[in-house]
Amino acid sequence: MQSVIQITTNSHNGLYDITNQVEKIVSESKVKNGLVNVYAQGATAAIMIQENWDESVQNDVIILLKKLIPQGVWQHDAQDNNGDAHLKAGLIGPSESIPIVGGKMGLSTWQNIFFCEFDGPRNTRSIIVSILEI
């Protein structure tokens, strides 16, 4: 089974919790045991599993990446001024795979799935959710 989630992002760099949307797709699939892959389309976006207790961890991720990969100093900036977005997305990676156990995602209590925007805001971002049954 495969489905697409579309979201709108409202910041240049931000993490957006998509756990509920992915949970709904997993539930609708009726797969009891398998794997769900969550993939961000776009060279300046990524997927991350991280804590969602409050916004502090998500904010810390953005602060760290801005310190590690600053804006405006990369060769690609000569083309469209988003060299840092490409590097951040490449570092985090475009996808995460989560086991499905007993019809539910095998995330722990504190784990959520985040779409990482590094070149926003964007009216539409697409996330492909693929489910494989074992």
Q: What is the number of domains present in the chain?
A: 1
Range 87-92 average pLDDT: 98
> What are 97-109's pLDDT values in tens digits?
999 999 999 999 9
Tell me what the mean pLDDT of segment 22-40 comes to.
98
100 close to 37: Cβ distance less than 8 angstroms: no
Q: How confident is the model at residue 32 (pLDDT cuts 50, 70, 90)?
A: very high
- 121/85 Cα distance (integer angstroms): 12
Give the CATH number for residue 104.
Answer: 2.60.120.460
Cβ-Cβ contacts under 8 Å for 128 (sequence gap 6 or more): 2, 3, 4, 37, 38, 39, 41
pLDDT tens digits, one per residue of 9-27: 999 999 999 999 999 999 9
pLDDT at position 19, please? 98
**What was the pLDDT predicted at 107?**
98
By residue range, what is the domain housing residue 98? 2-133
